[in-house]
Chain A
Amino acid sequence: MHTLITIQLKADKLFLNFSGEITVYTINILQNKLLNINTSTVKEIVFDLNAILFLDTAGALFLNKLQHDYEIQTFNVKISSHNKKINDTLELVENYKIDSNTRDERAVSSLHIFYRKYRKYIEGVKYFMEFLGRLFMSIVLYLKSFKSIRYKEIFFEINESGVKALWIVSLTSFLIGLVVAFQSSYQLKIYGANIFIVDMLGLSILRELAPVITAIVIAGRSGSAFTAQIGAMKITQEIDAMKTMGFDPYSFLLLPRIIALMIILPILVFVSDIMGMLGGMIVANIDLGITVEVFTSRFQEVIKVKHFYVGILKAPFFAFLIASIGIYRGLVVKDDTKSIGINTTKSVVESIFAVIVCDALFSIAFTSVGI
């Protein structure tokens, strides 16, 4: 690489002879070389630019700034340059640079930051309320005229979110049944209470595990999909386009998804019940020696049908939570791509949390009325 600068001190004159290519890649080196010059005896500084091969705007800006810095320190700065291009570049920079002291720097106090954060939170709550209100209104309008129900979209969503999730829901529930049975069979064997595995599995799977596990799988699968899809539509202004054409995004995008999920989730829970019990039954058979006949007759005897209904009944509520949180998160996506990622994460975390809270509330409610 060329030497970029040679520095000469003659009496009270400092000569800075620049050479080579002064560009955005090299000014960093220059800066370091200029750092420790002893200027105590200097009155005049001469920039000799005649040996410069190429000067880009960053380089020119650097020289300009250097000159001003020296002038502020009351040195007499002279520039010697005969190259027209270099002079033009320096002139361009002089014309368009922004004085660092006139720049508008917005001082942001910590109080202001706090206020902004707080306001964002309040607005978030307000927006969610608005969302629920509009959702409710469009449900009412929707139900008033059956013609406007968008069956095609609903069936499409049922297929996407439900039918295509059958396999993963079945497998997860089967494994959960297997694991729960396996863990408890060890304890039950100690007390010789083998047959009670049926009571245990029946109650826990039908009432709690199947609905919650299914809801969590669907939250991860469809909740995130809803957010990403609707968020992307917002960024590409598709939602704005729909609005200007008079299509209500709520009835076009939201309700089909919510309705589809509310229809399909109970069915998925039903499948999950079957697969969970199947997993349990296999362990009971192998580990505890309970035959299928014994298992089923005990099951009919002790597990009341209400437990099954409790599990199924919860599913539409979970579905509503998952779908509306997913869609809400999609609608609050701002116009940048990062916000899709953030909101998708939030959507999944929040909907799983909401499902669990809702389940706890149901638990308390059902127990207190004795179901």
Chain B
Amino acid sequence: MNIIEVRNLKTKFENKIVHDNISLTIKEGEIYGLLGPSGCGKTTLLREMVMLQEFSEGSIEVLGYDIYNINHVNAQKIRSKWGVLFQAGALFSSLSIKENIALPLIEYTDLSSSMIDEIVNFKINLVGLKSSDAHLFPSQISGGMKKKAALARALAMDPKLLFLDEPTSGLDPISARDFDRLILKLRSVLGLTIVMVSHDLQSIYDTLDRVAIIDNQKIAYEGTISEIGSVNSNFIQTFFKNKEHII
């Protein structure tokens, strides 16, 4: 089953074209990577998929709904099925880490506060934060910790679909590998579908099933990593040149 289908998408800011007629398909249970040089429109595409940004032409279907013509009820329904990790974390600055993670649980379920506490602590531990840091506020934690806390918040409701914008940037290498293992684990036990923007080669090789490479407003490549070498694109050739060192 296709979780996300992007068809002939075109995105324009004023008169600057970011995406020109791009199409891609993300299947259920897949870890899918959006790759490409800085400024090629990966974050923009992600924002369009989660209905934060409008596109100019084409269509995007998420979880079976055409998000251009979606009504409010359905929009809320699919919003409750996904979790989003923003590039810069976007934690609520006036809430502690714990409260940030508990917020969706408090708003959308009738769980008792002790159960919520239990879930929050589990999520904090799962992403590799110390539970003694749970009462700290976003301004009191490091950049990497913010990433982890934001991931815990994205996972709070056990979403079926996870959008991650550069999840490993700003993490130390050990945490980054832990992160890779974690999402593989989550995918295998919970059947998550993950859409991920990444520049982290190790992470790309270890986790991604399929990738789309956006370059020059187009999809330069869509498919598995192993078949990537043959593609004729400047970005791909340079970016994946050193893969022998990693594998």
Contact = CB atoms under 8 A, between A and B. Distances in A.
Interface of A: 23-25, 27-28, 31, 56-58, 61-62, 65, 85, 88-89, 92-93, 96-98, 100, 103-104, 106, 235, 334-339
Contacts of B157: 24
10 contacts: A24-B111, A27-B111, A28-B112, A31-B112, A65-B118, A92-B126, A92-B189, A334-B139, A336-B94, A336-B138
A28 B111 contact: yes
Majority secondary structure of chain B interface residues (helix, strand, loop or mixed): helix
Contacts of B132: 104
Given A62-B115, A92-B185, A92-B189, A24 B158 contact: yes
B118 A61 contact: yes
Contacts of B230: none
Contact of A336 (B111, B112, B115, B139): B139
Contacts of B155: 57
Contacts of B93: 235, 335-338
A336 B135 CA distance: 15
B122 A93 contact: yes
Interface string B107-148: 011111001001101111110000110010111000000000
Nearest to B137: A336
A58 B189 contact: no
Given A104-B132, A335-B93, A58 B188 contact: no
Contact of B189 (A23, A85, A235): A85
Given A24-B105, A28-B110, A97 B137 contact: no
Nearest to A336: B93
B94 A103 contact: no
Nearest to B139: A335
B70 interface: no
Interface string B156-196: 01100000000000000000000000000100111100000
A334 B94 CA distance: 10
A103 B120 CA distance: 12
Contacts of A92: 126, 185, 189
B132 to A, nearest CB: 5
A338 B189 contact: no
A98 to B, nearest CB: 4
Contact of B122 (A61, A85, A235, A336): A61
